Structure 1
Amino acid sequence: MAAKLPIDELSHPPTHPPSPSTPSYLIFLITGNPGLAGYYTTFTTHLHTLLRISHPATSIRIYARSLAGFETALPTPPKPLGLLAQVDAVKAVLRRKVKEVEDEVGRVKVVLVGHSVGSWILLEILQRVRWEGGVEVVAGVCLFPTVVDIARSPRGRVFTPLLRIPGLPWIAASAARVLGLLPVPWFEALVRSVTGMPPDAVVTTTAFLRSKMGVYQALHMARDEMSLITTDTWDAEIWGAAHPSPTGTARSQLFFYFGEEDHWVAEETREEIIRARGGGEDWRPRMEVDEGGIPHGFCVENGEEVAGIVAGYVRGVLGG
């Protein structure tokens, strides 16, 4: 089970006691927007259980933290962060977590998992740490990835003009603060009736709406997403190449899991990515399209299903 930490942080302990002779892995989750770790409790808990069963001799821990500005209990930045600042913030958390684990067990290999815009952040971080060193990322898993042309998606076409409304983040945040004056049980009942979410997601959503800066941060960051997530800017160090890497370190394996009807990823965008970057060669990313109707926001009700998919990818990385 996940440790009883604030909703901002999920930390699952090693699946097997770490030792110098035991391979150690850190699965590091990068959330979507709104970037609260609490939405992923079911997903990470089930993934932890599956990997503990399949790899009893491997030490695997899982960690997730809310994106900066979405905190409900941990310290919040003094002002909202844009998308590039989020990349820096997540990379800093990743480096701290890797150091913490390495101080305990020595070398650790990292598997990054990104959801939605978290996949874009994943690729940006991977590009940077490839050259900076200090973190050995052996694989990246991109779930329902919004990595190219998000403004062309069905929701992007709607939200792009809305996000240009002057003062929209402040207006929305003010409205949330007014609702936040309601007693928590009443607020949760309102969220439940409007969204139909299960209890855990209701608690997380209520905390998000009542948080100091969450709503403002979500809209501030969404503006950046529409303007920055456009063309593919990553090179062969990320997407793979038939020749060895000039860094001397093997390139990370990449896995992409797309939604069949994803309102944040246009179908033509998805097909362009698969055509340009997917393929059967071992050095290319593995790309799949869901056929089971799992929604973009899988973490609300389909966490166990997606955990099974990710566990399959991780098993391929670990072997077995």
Structure 2
Amino acid sequence: GSGSGRPRMETQSEFFFCSGAATEVLKVGSSQLSGEEVLLLLIPGNPGVVGFYESFLLTLHGMLGRPVWAVSHAGHCAPPDSMDLVEDGAAAARRDVFGLDGQIQHKLAFIRDRVPRGTRLVLVGHSIGCYMILEMMRRSPELEVLKAVLLFPTIERMAQSPQGKVMTPVLCQLRYLAYLPLFLLSLLPQLNSMYLGGQEMRMVQERDNVTIQKNLDRLIFYYGATDHWCPVSYFQDMRRDFPHGDIRLCERGVRHAFVLDAGQEVAQMVAAWIGGSLTA
């Protein structure tokens, strides 16, 4: 920062194409990185709209003093009028950029294109963002990840969860979205969110124990006590399978969609958990 006293905190929003799809990044703290520092990068849930996370990001930055960025999911933001949701419809359709695998590739492309090499990352995931982070660590082990904090992690058996049982029939009806002309999809971020949701139900089945074990010392899991996407039994299974892992159960009654009313509270907890890892 510059000047004396505490700088007035605000978020900066930037829009650009990444993997050929409109992407928003919300930044707090330095928007330009030198490549030597630590960056906290949030991978959101679904819908992957970064504006929801504003108070969470501001609080994290206020407590840790590090740059904090959140990257939207491809096509989940509402870009400025001058910008389409996709650069090239045919290419986006071929790559299925709005699907689960496409969204993971999109995050890796974002880091490759927009984060200077040598930046050390603290990844913070919410819901399906946690699944994406484990996949990112599996596919790109060269990423310099100091810690990954997985909040309300939907990393297994989504369709079997209480919420999944309600949503799966609805979302799987939406498979026909795949056959809509892409220009229709690209008009509506909400459709992209539902399309991703349908893929989540089909694809998030078995937990990736190999990746978890390999990175266990870098992972923190935080489960909700009343989370209909991850019942407490999923937390208990994790504790049983990874007795040495840092796997926590919420005791504060925070709900799965924590950003709606507990963004600051959860940010304060996250800051307390990871503060020690950032002093290096």
What is the letter of the counterpart of residue 48 of structure 1?
A: H
**How has the CA–CA distance of structure 1 residues 276 and 234 changed in structure 2, closer, same or farther, with 3 Å as cutoff?**
closer
2:78 aligned residue = 72
Q: 1:96 corresponds to which residue?
A: 113
Per-residue CA deviation, residues 179-208 of structure 1 (Å, 9 max, x unaligned), is xxxxxxxxxxxxxxxxxxxxxxxxxxxxxx
**Separation in structure 1 between the aligned mates of residue 146 and residue 246 of structure 2, nearest angstrom:** 14
Who is 2:62 aligned against? 49
1:12 corresponds to which of 28, 33, 37? 28
State the Cα distance separating 1:309 from its structure 2 match: 1.0
8 Å Cα contact 2:53/2:263 also seen in 1? yes
User: 1:160 aligned to 2:189?
Assistant: no
Question: In the alignment, what sits opposite 1:109?
Answer: 120
Q: SS where residue 149 of structure 1 aligns?
A: coil
Name the amino acid aligned to 1:255: I
Q: Does structure 1 residue 138 correspond to structure 2 residue 146?
A: yes
AA paired with 1:300?
A: L
Unaligned stretches of 5+ residues in structure 1: 53-59, 171-176, 178-210, 242-250
Residue aligning to 2:202: 227
From the CA coordinates, give the structure whose radius of gyration is larger.
1
Residues 1:81 and 2:106 aligned together = no
For residues 78-115 of structure 1, the C-alpha deviation after alignment (integer angstroms, 9 at most, x for no partner) is 3561101110001111222322xx4xxxx321111100
SS in 2 for 1:232: coil
The whole-number CA distance in structure 1 between the counterparts of 2:274 and 2:257 is 21
RMSD: 2.7
Partner of residue 221, structure 2: 256
Question: Which structure has the higher relative contact order (CA within 8 Å, separation 6+)?
Answer: 1
CA contact (8 A) 1:150 1:264 kept: yes
Q: Name the CA shift for 1:155/1:306 in 2 (closer, same or farther; >3 Å).
A: same
Q: Which residue identity does 1:69 align to in structure 2?
A: G
% identical aligned pairs: 30
TM-score of the superposed pair, with normalisation by structure 1? 0.70
Residues 26 and 161 (structure 1 numbering): CA distance in 2 closer, same or farther, change over 3 Å? same
Structure 1 residue 169: Cα displacement: 5.1
Equivalent pairs, count: 247
Question: Is residue 2:214 matched to residue 1:240?
Answer: yes
Say whether the 8 Å CA contact 1:111–1:140 is kept in structure 2.
yes
Structure 2 unaligned segments of length 5 or more: list them.
1-8, 16-23, 179-183
- Give the TM-score, by structure 2 length: 0.80
User: In structure 2, what residue type is equivalent to 1:85?
Assistant: G
**Aligned position for 2:248:** 288
CA distance in 2, matches of 1:141, 1:97: 21
Contact 1:141/1:255 (8 A) holds in 2: yes
Q: 1:121 to 1:215 in 2, by over 3 A?
A: same
What's the CA shift string for 1:280-320, capped at 9, x where partnerless? 3xxxx311000111000001111000001110122131249
Paired residue for 1:35, among 28, 44, 48? Answer: 48
Q: Distance in 1 between matches of 2:69 and 2:129?
A: 14
> Per-residue CA shift, 1:217-245, capped at 9, x if unaligned?
1111111111111112341x54238xxxx
Query: What is the CA-CA distance between 1:168 and the residue it aligns to?
Result: 6.9
* Partner Cα separation in structure 2 for residue 90 and residue 273 of structure 1: 26
CA shift in 2, pair 1:75/1:262, >3 Å: same
Q: What is the match of residue 68 of structure 2?
A: 62
Partners of 1:168 and 1:5 lie apart in 2 by: 33
Paired with 2:105 and 2:33, the residues of 1 have a C-alpha distance of 29
Structure 2 letter corresponding to 1:239: Q
